[in-house]
Amino acid sequence: MAGICESDTRQILDLSQLARGTMPFRYLGIPLAAEKLKVVYYEELVGKIRTYVDGWSANTLSYAGRTELVRSVLQGVECFWLSILPIPAVVRSKIISICRSFLWGSVNPSVAWSTLCLPKSEGGLGLRDFQSWNHALLAKTLWNIQGNKDTLWYKWIHQVYLRGRNIWDWELRRDDSPLFKNLHSIRDIIVQKCGSQERAAQLLASWNANHRVKGPNNPYNFFRPHQPEVPWSNVIWSSCIMPKHSFHLWLCKQSRIRTRDRIRWMDVDKLCVFCGTKPETCQHLYFECAFTRAVWTGIRGWIGIDRQMTTFSSAIKWLKKEAKGTSWHSRGQKIAFATTVYQLWNARNRLIFEGEVSHIDLVIHKIKTHVYKVMFSLYPDVLVHFEKLAMGEN
């Protein structure tokens, strides 16, 4: 109440029956202040996310399950805050650290966070890039400033900040609020990417006309980082493959599984656990070891894959070409490939951590059993045909 004497202040409080408060204060759970909020005022947001994530035990969830939980946090819990306030970099880092540690169950992530935030078609997991999501949600405020001319809020904004100008001609002043300085930055990003103020205004109007728009023209997609599309995403993330199998296959394709050659912070035996003759790399474990080659031989003949499995790139390329479409046989081949990769990793882990020796025939049996169950759930009418395929009949 700057400029108002103390007696007038008391009179206003008496008439309004309001309590006298101080800033910052909370409105609808969001801290409001006349100056830039300190990091400490974002602790409630960080605390909510930490509580939400800590409520689940990472040990009880697969990587795919943890990914979905992280996705729900980044797209749900903090959405209200991101649509109102620009989130400082240090707060973003705290939230990302919480989610990253939960996802990997370790302070040593297997894949960079920036990669996880790419769409699956570009090699990522489709998580939200925090800063881009913040920009996309705040962009609606720019439209409200431009379009809601009859509201009291709009009139106040123009009186205090714009002073008769539109948002495209508005220049910052030193005493503008932190929020408006951030909105000014977002405005400039839109103009720069669009090439002109006219195109930027049209884009902003299209977002407002359909705030649920999906695809390449949605606000988040406009702000997020982009990478070239990868040719293998539709094979790895095929709808017929179990999510946890897809996730593991995604890690393998990028050679990011925690094989012994990548464990540098511990003094461990680097030799392959199955053959004990060469260092355990992703390539050796899946395609060069005598044990895994024998498993692949049994599965390839059973499911009708006539190509030798020598690398993930060549195998996925073959599946993309020969197992395309949604026929029951094409799906069976993709399911069998992903299941084999997953079961070989399970056999390796059981041997290391539990001392359980898995025989080749047992691993093949587990793979066939899983594929059979999935195929039966998808195609119960062709069960008889699949049984004949399993028995090597035409």
Distance of CA 357 to the CA centre of its chain: 36
Task: Give the DSSP per-residue string, 46-104.
Answer: HHHHHHHHHTS-GGGS-HHHHHHHHHHIIIIITHHHHTTSPPPHHHHHHHHHHHHHHHH
Tens-place pLDDT, residues 295-338: 999 999 898 888 888 999 999 999 998 888 888 889 999 999 99
Give the count of alpha carbons within 13 A of 334, CB side only. Answer: 27
> What's the pLDDT score for residue 51?
87
What is the pTM for the complete model shown?
0.86
Least confident of 64-68, 113-117, 144-148, 168-172: 144-148
SS3 state at 26: strand
Q: Where are the domains of the chain?
A: 6-110, 133-223, 233-390
Task: Please name every residue paired with 31 in a beta bridge, in sequence order, or none if there are none.
Answer: 26
Tens-place pLDDT, residues 144-195: 887 766 778 778 888 888 877 888 888 888 878 888 889 999 999 999 999 9
Of 241, 243, 251, nearest in space to 371 by CA: 241
The average confidence (pLDDT) of the chain is 86
Cβ(285)–Cβ(342) under 8 Å?
A: no
CA distance 349 to 114: 28
> What's the pLDDT score for residue 392?
52
Cβ(326)–Cβ(239) under 8 Å?
A: no
Of 301, 287, 271, nearest in space to 393 by CA: 301
Which letter does DSSP use for residue 121 in this model? G
Tens-place pLDDT, residues 24-39: 777 777 787 767 788 8
Q: Where are the alpha helices (DSSP H) in the chain?
A: 6-16, 43-54, 63-72, 79-82, 89-104, 113-116, 130-147, 152-157, 178-194, 197-209, 219-223, 233-236, 243-253, 282-283, 290-303, 312-322, 328-354, 360-378, 383-390
Residue 279 has pLDDT above 70, yes or no: yes
> What's the pLDDT score for residue 376?
85
> What's the pLDDT score for residue 100?
93
Residue 201 has pLDDT above 80, yes or no: yes
Residue 224 has pLDDT above 90, yes or no: yes
Q: Give mean pLDDT, residues 369-390.
A: 74
